[in-house]
Amino acid sequence: MLAIVMLTGITNVFAQEDDAGKKLKSIQVAFMARNLKLTPEEADRFWPVYNNYRNEMDQLVADKERDKSIDVKSTHSADADAVARNNMDKDLSYDKRFLDIKTKYTAEFQRVLPASKASAVFNSEKEFRRIMIKHLQNSQKINRMNNQQLRPRH
């Protein structure tokens, strides 16, 4: 039942662009709270820590995207090897920061949740993304089929 409500909510999220981020976040919160079986007390402790984690991860992704746009501009450089070395160093730095954040928040989640629930946070997040991707792919297939049916046949 929850899956149907979530998928309906997800469809509505993408139909209304201006509130999409807030609605998607509320769907994710409901999914993770249910998946982790958070008690109200655990939820009060967990969500501030999780929001800090997401903010750090979002900043990391934004930094990587910014670096990519800078790299695209510098690919016209005469020294392709130097650019490649620099890109490898940036990728390693990104991977290290990613691992540092996950390590930090693994400890933080264990501080506010029982170990059995803390260990499921990252998997719950992955499962939510997997469901979202699958839903988007299905929506795209339906849209393509509907568009094909609407085309005039010659």
In a domain, 17, yes or no: no
Res 133 pLDDT > 60: yes
Radius of gyration of the chain (CA): 20
How sure is the predictor about 141, in pLDDT bands with cuts at 50, 70 and 90? Answer: confident
Task: Please tell me whether the overall predicted TM-score, pTM, comes out greater than 0.75 for this model.
Answer: no
Residue 57 has pLDDT above 80, yes or no: yes
Whether 68 is covered by a domain: the verdict is yes
Report residue 153: phi and psi, to 5°.
-100, 140
Residue 76 token pair = 């016209």
Dist CA 79 CA 34 (whole Å): 53
Closest CA to 2 of 20, 38, 28: 28
- Report, as an integer, the average pLDDT of 74-84: 71
In a domain, 82, yes or no: yes
> Would 28 be classed as within a structural domain?
no
Domain enclosing residue 88, as ranges: 40-150
Furthest CA-CA distance within the chain? 66
